[in-house]
Amino acid sequence: MIGHTSPSKSFNPVEELPSMAGKVIIVTGSSSGIGFASLQHLCRMGAKVYMATPDGDRTQEALKRVEQEGREPGMGQVLWHELELSDPRSAKASAERFMARETKLDVLINNAALITDLGNPQLNADGIQDNMAINYLGPYVFTKTLLPLLEATASDGKDVRIVNVGSDGHKYVKFLEYGSKEAWNYKLRWSLLPTLERYKYSKLAVHLWTNYLAKRLTEKKSPITVLIVHPGAILSDGAIRSLKTLPFPRFWIFLMGLMMHPQTLGAHTSVFAACSTKDSPHIFHGAYICPPNVSTKQDRKALDENKQTELAEFTENLLEELGI
């Protein structure tokens, strides 16, 4: 949702990227918005794509939409896999169920995110604010649990990738504490737009985690490629839900529609990161890809190894405390 870079309107993933036939891909949060657009592109490229989402009306509507759009020659398939990220136990169980149904996983795209909390941040059953539970902790547990399957897939010499969806908004986070539940639950009420500040805070956590994970996998000599992407300034379904929390929502949606890009373009960086060949100068372990599909440098806050360690150590201690 945040950012100053513009996606390329001429980029066509189906025509410009290699076929993904035979690939198994998970896209979390893909029942709407950028995630659904990513799923559509990947299916058209021949992949077997799992829509990893909670059970609910939005998921059922998305699956109906996939069926209504029909199948063209060369298209892959879309399957639903239940995933509830607000509860880390559920995220772990979902990953375990996936490993029971598939023998490989080529690409994991952690796209799901809570953009708006309607100005009233809720806590999950473990007393963690939903924005951090859904945007960071759930994906962390889901990915950690799937790592053995990703590693096994990569052991055959296959090109295996983890693509995390971050945000250029990570550059503007001012509250930088990540070593306690109190910090995770800080409401940031001092901001004019506290909902947006909480979203950016959670996205910086994703950047810190991605960089930490990339380093740990390098130390293990793992062949898995880890990347993080920024979609661009996108008027996604989630962004619209966020704008509806403001006074005069129609005005804001109209105004942002003039300044932002449609969500089909917001999927470009995720799909580029997932599918481009490794001879691209922008595809490398630890890359941060922004529109129009170019690698760039993350803010120093995301590259701070002390903060990466602080977040990782507290996360592991918390999961141990929760028995996960």
pLDDT for 212-247, tens place per residue?
Answer: 999 999 999 999 999 999 987 666 676 776 677 677
Exposure string over 82-116, b if 16+ CB within 10 A, otherwise e: bbbbbbbbbbbbbbeebbeebebbbbbbbbbbbbb
The structure tokens listed for 181 are 């539940």
Q: Judge contact between 214 and 226, C-beta under 8 A.
A: yes
> 319: buried, middle or exposed (CB in 10 Å: 19+, 13-18, 0-12)?
middle
**What's residue 4's pLDDT?**
45
Q: Give the containing element (helix H, strand E) for 302.
A: helix 300-303
Output the average pLDDT for the chain. 91
**What's residue 285's pLDDT?**
98
pTM assigned to the model: 0.92
Tokens 């604010």 — which residue? 129
**What's residue 9's pLDDT?**
75
Fold classification of 20-322 is Rossmann fold (3.40.50)
Q: Judge contact between 203 and 135, C-beta under 8 A.
A: yes
Sign of CA dihedral 253, 259, 264, 270: negative
Measured distance CA(72)–CA(66) in Å, rounded: 12
**What's residue 268's pLDDT?**
94
Amino acid at 253: I
**What's residue 258's pLDDT?**
65
3-state SS of the chain: helix, strand, coil percent to 5?
50, 15, 40
**What's residue 236's pLDDT?**
65
Choose among 257, 200, 273: nearest CA to 38: 273
Q: Which residues of the chain carry a pLDDT beneath 50?
A: 1-4
Choose among 4, 25, 1: nearest CA to 291: 4
Measured distance CA(295)–CA(293) in Å, rounded: 7
Q: Which residues are catalytic?
A: 199
Measured distance CA(240)–CA(282) in Å, rounded: 31
Q: Give me the residue spans of the domains in the chain.
A: 20-322
Reduced to 3 states (helix: H, G, I; strand: E, B; else coil), residue 30 is coil
**What's residue 2's pLDDT?**
45
**What's residue 84's pLDDT?**
98
**What's residue 301's pLDDT?**
98
